[in-house]
Amino acid sequence: MDLTLSPSELEFREEVRTWIEENHPGPEPEAGLEEVMAFRREWQLKMHAAGWAGISWPKEYGGRGATMIEQAIFVGEAARLEAPSPANVLGLAMGGPVVIAHGTDAQKQRYLEPILTGEEIWCQGFSEPESGSDLASLKTKAVKDGDEWVVTGQKVWTTFAQYAKWCMLVARTDPDAPKHKGLTYFLMDMEQEGVEAKPLVQITGEGEFNEVFMDEARIPDANVVGEVGGGWGVAITTLMNERAGLAFGAIAQVANSLKRLGALAAETRLNGGTAAEDPVIRQRLAQLHIEAETMRLNAYRGLTKTMQSGIPGPEGSLGKWQWADINQRMAELALEIEGAYAPLSRGDEHAVAGGAWQYSFLRSRANSIEGGTTDILKNIIAERVLGLPRLR
C-alpha cells in the first residue's frame, strides 16, 4: 500500500501545474454560450499545441499516451486550478477513443486530428424522448439506401449539438432483431438539411442541451463504426470512457467547492457568531468532507484495480453516485448558511458570493440524472457488483 506519487509522477504533476498556471486564460466569460465556446476553442488549441489534448490517446494517433495515473493527475490538476474545459470535450473523451477502438484506418485518418485541434466539435446522440435509462429501446431508425443510410427520429439531451460537426449516433438498423442487437453506431454529419438542433432551456436558464430532429438525414456507409448491428457494444465503450475520465476531475472540483463552503461558513454571521461555530453546520460540513475523502480514496482503489486488470469495473458507478450526492448536498448546505439571502442569484448586487451557490444548487439537480441516473446506478451495483437478480 502506497498512497504517494512516485518521483516521476511528481515531476509530471509539476510539469502539468506549471503549464496550466502559465497558460491559464482566467475565468470563462459569463455572458453567452457563443463567447464561452470561442474561449474554449482557443484553450483547446493551446492544449493541443502543448500536447495535452488527447492525453489518454496513444501517441500514434496524435495523443500523449499517458499512463492512467498521469491522466488522473492531469484531470485533477486542471480541475483544481479551474482551467477551462476544452471546446471538444465529448470528442476528446468519447469520440476519439471510440474511433481508436472500433474505427477503420480510414476513419482514424479522417476524424482524429480535427478532434484534437477542436476544429470539429462532437456531440452524442444516444438518449431519446422515450428512451432514457432504457437506452436499448431507442427508436430512431436508419434504413439502407444504396451506399447510404437514411435516418429519421429524434434525440434529446444532446450537449452542444448546436456547435457540433459530428454526432455519435446510435440508431436502429434492424427492427426485427432483439433490442440490443438491432442497433448500429454511426458518425453523422450535423451540417446537413435533414438535421435540426433546438436548444432545450434548463432550470438554470441556460441551454447546454438540445433536441436533435432527423428527417431523412443521410449518412454514408463508410461512417458506420464497428459492425452493422454491433452498435450496443460500441456505445458501451463510449459510456465507459465517459465515466472513467470523470472521477479525478470531479474529486478536485469537490475539494475546491468544500474550501469555498468552509470560507462561506466562516464569513457568514449567525446568532452572534459565525456559521462555522454552529454545531449543526459543523457536523454537516465535516460529514461532507469525510464522504469526499472516501470518494477520493475509492477512486484511488479503483485506479489501482483498473491498472492491474486493464478495464474499469462497475464499481465506478459508486463514485458517480456519490459525487452527485455530495455536489447536491454542498449546495444545499451553502443555501442554508446564506439563510434569507438564499434566493438572490447571479446578477443581483446583494447575492452572496456572486450567486455561485444558487447556480450550483440548480445545476447540481442534474447530477443525479445525467450520465446514468442514481437509480440506474444502484441497479447496476445491485446486479453487477452484488450479483442480485435482475428485475426484468
- Interface residue with another protein, options 298, 313, 354, 371 (CB under 8 A): 298
Q: How far is the CB of 1 from another protein (least distance, A)?
A: 5
CA distance 169 to 155: 9
Complex with another protein: residue 262 or 371, whichever CB lies closer: 262
Stretch that binds another protein, among 37-45, 192-200, 227-235, 295-303 (CB under 8 A): 295-303
Cell 440524472 appears where? 369
Look at residue 200 and give its three-state secondary structure: strand
Q: Does 388 bind another protein (CB under 8 A)?
A: yes
Complex with another protein: residue 21 or 35, whichever CB lies closer: 21
Residues facing 172 on adjacent strands: 141, 183
Q: How far is the CB of 159 from another protein (least distance, A)?
A: 27
The residues, any chain, with a CB within 8 Å of residue 387's CB and separated by 6 or more, are none
Stretch that binds another protein, among 29-37, 171-179, 198-206, 314-322 (CB under 8 A): 314-322
Q: Which residues between 4 and 33 bind another protein (CB under 8 A)?
A: 4-6, 9
Among candidate residues 146, 153, 99, 145, the one with its CA nearest the CA of residue 122: 99
101 is written with which cell numbers?
477502438
Helix or strand run (H / E) with residue 330: helix 316-338
Look at residue 310 and give its three-state secondary structure: coil
169 is written with which cell numbers?
449516433
Look at residue 386 and give its three-state secondary structure: coil
Complex with another protein: residue 4 or 106, whichever CB lies closer: 4
Complex with another protein: residue 94 or 244, whichever CB lies closer: 244
Q: How far is the CB of 249 from another protein (least distance, A)?
A: 15
Q: How far is the CB of 171 from another protein (least distance, A)?
A: 30
Q: How far is the CB of 358 from another protein (least distance, A)?
A: 19
Q: Does 313 bind another protein (CB under 8 A)?
A: no
- Interface residue with another protein, options 53, 214, 318, 330 (CB under 8 A): 318
Long-range contacts of 108-112 (CB under 8 A, 24+ apart): 108/61, 111/166, 111/187, 112/54, 112/57, 112/61, 112/62
CA distance 3 to 166: 41
- Interface residue with another protein, options 23, 119, 300, 332 (CB under 8 A): 300
- Interface residue with another protein, options 147, 269, 271, 390 (CB under 8 A): 390
CA distance 56 to 66: 5
73 HSE (CA, 13 A, CB side): 20
Cell 486488470 appears where? 309
Please count the residues of this chain forming the interface with another protein, following the rule CB under 8 A: 59
CA distance 149 to 136: 20
Binding mask 346-385 for another protein (x = CB under 8 A): -----------------------------x-xxx-xxx-x
Alpha-carbon distances of 254 from 129, 218, 288, 327, rounded to whole Å: 31, 43, 10, 7
Complex with another protein: residue 207 or 354, whichever CB lies closer: 354
Q: Which of 15, 119, 242, 291 is catalytic?
A: 242
How many other C-beta atoms lie within 10 A of the C-beta of residue 167? 28
Q: How far is the CB of 115 from another protein (least distance, A)?
A: 29
208 catalytically annotated? no
Q: Which residues between 40 and 99 bind another protein (CB under 8 A)?
A: 69, 80-82
Q: How far is the CB of 289 from another protein (least distance, A)?
A: 5
8 HSE (CA, 13 A, CB side): 4
Q: Does 331 bind another protein (CB under 8 A)?
A: no
Could you tell me whether strands 166-172 and 122-125 are parallel, antiparallel, or unpaired per DSSP bridges?
parallel
391 is written with which cell numbers?
428485475
CA distance 270 to 290: 24
Q: Which residues between 252 and 291 bind another protein (CB under 8 A)?
A: 256, 258-263, 265-266, 276, 279, 282-283, 285-287, 289-291
Q: How far is the CB of 318 from another protein (least distance, A)?
A: 6
Task: Give the catalytic positions in this structure.
Answer: 242
Residues that bind another protein (CB under 8 A): 1-6, 9, 69, 80-82, 256, 258-263, 265-266, 276, 279, 282-283, 285-287, 289-291, 293-295, 297-298, 300-301, 303-305, 308, 315, 318, 321-322, 375, 377-379, 381-383, 385-391
